[in-house]
Amino acid sequence: MAKYWSKKVTEESNALDLEEGVFKFKNPKKIALSLKKSAEASTRKKAHPFQSAMSMLNFYINRAGENLDPTQKEILEKAKIELRKLFKKAPKSG
């Protein structure tokens, strides 16, 4: 197995065709819009588009771990909020 299998999964996901560099965007809303578009367009996903988009975002954050730039992690966390807004989901409590 490749050393960076999570990078391969992110780049070659069987569920979503992601816009190139989506997790490096500096605008949380742009990230959320891109993930929403990818999730809604996918014919291979196994879950609701919101779940697919949020899962991919969480996967990227979790796999990047401590190597993720703190500023970019904050942007990605804000993208979760934007994703919930786009799909009209209640804010996560806690």
The structural domains of the chain, with segments of one domain joined by +, span 1-13+46-87
Closest CA to 18 of 42, 44, 48: 42
The pLDDT confidence band at residue 42, using thresholds 50, 70 and 90, is: confident
Question: In percent, how much of the chain has pLDDT > 70?
Answer: 80
Judged against a pLDDT cut of 50, whether residue 1 lies above it is answered with: no
Do the Cβ atoms of 53 and 85 come closer than 8 Å?
no
Separation of alpha carbons 74 and 32, rounded Å = 14
60-85 pLDDT, tens digit each: 999 888 899 999 999 999 999 999 99
Residue with tokens 């500096």: 26
Q: What is the pTM of this model?
A: 0.80
Do the Cβ atoms of 52 and 45 come closer than 8 Å?
yes
Separation of alpha carbons 9 and 55, rounded Å = 12
